[in-house]
Amino acid sequence: MPAVFDVQVAALRKTGSIRFAPVSGGSTLSVKSSATLSSRTADDSLNGGLLFLIDNSASCVKQIRRISDYDASSGEFTFTVAVDTAPSSGTFGYTVKPEIEADTLMELTNDALRAVGPLSFVDKNTIYTSAAQSVYAGSTLWGHTPPTAIDIQTGIVSTADDPQWRTFTPWHPEPSSVGGTINIVLEQGVPANRYLRVWYDAFHPRVSVSTAAIDNRINQELIVLLLADRLYEYKFSVAGGLTAFDTVRWNGVKQELVEAKIRYPLWKPPKRNKIGILGDQRASGYPDPPPYGPG
């Protein structure tokens, strides 16, 4: 399962915005590159840039810090927000020029995740049936989009290990107050003390830290290309244009993105009817005895 850090490093590498800088050691507030960068960079040229650290032997694995000072002669990077543990020799470091802030990079990452489109989720805890009740309040997790399907827990001895889910029909969503959650109206009686499993579509949860995991249903190549596309778009907007080379590279990323969307489609559950179809067990499970089918 890729983390935000992995996706950001890969996307920055694809746009040519990142430079490899192996670390020879340091403290919680500074690190030194094992290869002096003075021949390629000027003193203070990386001030305000970002430093990505990967240390598989310490707790500073996959952290990002803003460079407050860069000494080209010694290859030392200093930052004001300390890492958890001083990096050891062999830590991998990547530097990004001061052309994008860490917060902006995180926002572009969230933009890329939204561009993936909605994912399918299930909520098995919000609705617990009660006697003589047909209207149930939804969850804020569902957002303002009606659920795509609802299952009911069947059998008297259903457990978490064997809930015996069965598609429930018919039902319909009911709007509540402005900004409020959606209500679910069950159009036929159900037994009390049963959970309903609600299927709904929502965008990927917002990420805010470099160690946050990205849903493994999203192929890593796809999200890397989406972020690279957003990085080029941001660079274009800030600079008021791109160089001829960057334009060619951006077009290349767009073409790769088109191919990746075809190659790595998102998994979606089969669509199901909201009304019962007598005799069509695959579509709705409606032919069962009451209260799961026609009486």
E strands within 44-113? Answer: 50-54, 63-66, 69-71, 76-78, 92-96
Q: What is the pLDDT of residues 4-57, one digit of tens each?
A: 999 999 999 999 988 887 787 788 888 887 666 666 778 888 888 888 888 766
Range of the domain at 138: 119-202
Any idea how long the chain is?
295
Task: With respect to residue 225, please indicate whether it lies within any of the assigned structural domains.
Answer: no
Alpha-carbon gap, residue 65 to 60, rounded angstroms:
11
Does residue 66 contact residue 79 with C-beta atoms inside 8 Å?
A: yes
Task: With respect to residue 281, please indicate whether it lies within any of the assigned structural domains.
Answer: no
Alpha-carbon gap, residue 281 to 20, rounded angstroms:
58
Could you tell me the end-to-end alpha-carbon distance of the chain, in angstroms, rounded to an integer? 47
Task: With respect to residue 100, please indicate whether it lies within any of the assigned structural domains.
Answer: no
In the chain, the number of structural domains is 1
Mean pLDDT highest for which of 99-108, 274-283, 286-295?
99-108
Phi, psi of 248 (to 5 degrees): -65, -45
pTM of the full structure = 0.83
Q: What is the pLDDT of residues 226-271, one digit of tens each?
A: 999 999 999 999 989 889 999 999 999 999 999 999 999 998 887 7
Cα–Cα distances (Å) from 23 to 31, 152, 153, in that order, read: 7, 56, 55
The predicted structure's pLDDT at residue 287: 43
Alpha-carbon gap, residue 171 to 272, rounded angstroms:
12
Task: With respect to residue 96, please indicate whether it lies within any of the assigned structural domains.
Answer: no
Task: With respect to residue 135, please indicate whether it lies within any of the assigned structural domains.
Answer: yes
Q: What is the pLDDT of residues 64-119, one digit of tens each?
A: 888 999 888 888 889 888 887 777 776 778 888 888 889 999 999 999 999 999 99
The predicted structure's pLDDT at residue 30: 86
Task: With respect to residue 198, please indicate whether it lies within any of the assigned structural domains.
Answer: yes
Task: With respect to residue 124, please indicate whether it lies within any of the assigned structural domains.
Answer: yes
Q: Residue 117's closest CA among 261, 213, 254?
A: 261
Task: With respect to residue 99, please indicate whether it lies within any of the assigned structural domains.
Answer: no
Residue 157 amino acid letter:
V
